[in-house]
Amino acid sequence: MNNVEKQAGASSANRPNYYLVQFKRDRVDYFIDRNHLPLRKKAWVVVQAERGRDIGRIKLHIPEEHMVQSQHKYPLEILHEAKPEELELLTQNRSRENEIFKTGKELIEFRGLDMKLVDVEIQFDGNKITFYFTAELRVDFRELVKDLAATYRTRIELRQIGVRDETKKIGGLGPCGLELCCASWLREFKPISTQYARDQNLAVNPNKLSGPCGRLFCCLDYEQEFYEGARSDFPQEQQVFTDGDEKYIVVKLNFFTNEILLKKTDSDGIIPISLDDFRCKFCKKNNEWLEKWLPKSEQ
């Protein structure tokens, strides 16, 4: 091994490690490990917080370029693997959170605020308590913060979240029988519209297509790209095609079997036809569709 290779190896060995650390329920953040600790997945670690220290579990070992997703100006550090006494303190904090949650609800009712308390999280060192809530309108909670600060003598943060984030924190099971995606692995919410249901040949019934949060299923997004790509190869539903003197209307599309259901305009019978046969039968007789569906060699 020459000197250049040795220097490159030494430089690589000196590079810090980067981790995604998960805290209570779904909250995650990005951290740097400069000390090359022998960390494994799901290991409990004490980390640097913006004010003090916090404790969480190793979620993923990530490449350095993923650190740009961190919300912090400078990377926060992993200090050390959690000790038994620190884990005991974490357990005590979780028990305290239940009592603080009850007190928080009572103070919200006392102040007559139109907000719903969802969760409470104590920072590991006790330097901060975060209250997560939902509200339809803007809420003036300044007096509530004073009440909480006077009660617990620590920094209080109230954080408003959406109904999807609320379900993400509470968790539960979906109609598929599995744990909700948002509670188990989904990190970002994408906008879902009823057009997704139409594209996927689903009945547009919000009651049947909505999750516990009251919003359309996030899983409608998983196959949307497939349906959009497949639909570009098919004619549109209700489109009329001619074959001599006969006219046919497209009734239904099956993207998985590459089948099209047609109906003659002068009868009620349904005629199934494969996509390939449809192209041969109709495209050359309907010039407006020729360029879209046939390879240039066949046009």
**pLDDT band at 299; cut points 50, 70, 90:** very low
d(CA 134, CA 144): 15
Same domain, 180 and 210: yes
- Lowest mean pLDDT, pick from 13-17, 52-56, 134-138, 214-218: 13-17
12 pLDDT exceeds 60? Answer: no
**pLDDT band at 292; cut points 50, 70, 90:** very low
For residue 284, what pLDDT is reported?
A: 57
d(CA 91, CA 265): 70
Beta bridge partners of 273: 260
Last-in-domain residue among 82, 103, 118: 82
Same domain, 74 and 96: no
**Residue 199 belongs to what domain range?**
166-228
Same domain, 217 and 194: yes
| Mean pLDDT taken over the chain | 85
10 pLDDT exceeds 50? Answer: no
Strand order in the sheet with 270-274: 240-243, 246-254, 259-264, 270-274
Contact 58, 21 (CB under 8 A): yes
Contact 76, 29 (CB under 8 A): yes
pLDDT in tens, 266-279: 777 788 888 888 88
pLDDT in tens, 144-188: 999 999 999 999 999 999 888 888 888 888 888 888 988 888 878
Same domain, 45 and 97: no
Q: How many structural domains compose the chain?
A: 4
Query: 10-14, 43-47, 242-246 — which one is most confidently predicted on average?
Result: 43-47
26 pLDDT exceeds 70? Answer: yes
Q: Domain holding 110: CATH number?
A: 3.30.300.20
Higher-confidence residue of 293 and 245: namely 245
Segment 57-78 shows an average pLDDT of 84
Last-in-domain residue among 56, 82, 108: 82
Query: 54-58, 181-185, 258-262 — which one is most confidently predicted on average?
Result: 54-58
Contact 119, 169 (CB under 8 A): yes
Contact 18, 33 (CB under 8 A): yes
Strand 155-160 vs strand 240-243: parallel, antiparallel, or unpaired?
A: unpaired
Same domain, 246 and 273: yes
Higher-confidence residue of 209 and 229: namely 209
pLDDT in tens, 71-122: 777 789 999 999 999 999 999 999 999 999 999 999 999 999 999 999 999 9
Q: Which two tokens stand for residue 290?
A: 């020729």
d(CA 219, CA 237): 24
Last-in-domain residue among 210, 228, 246: 228
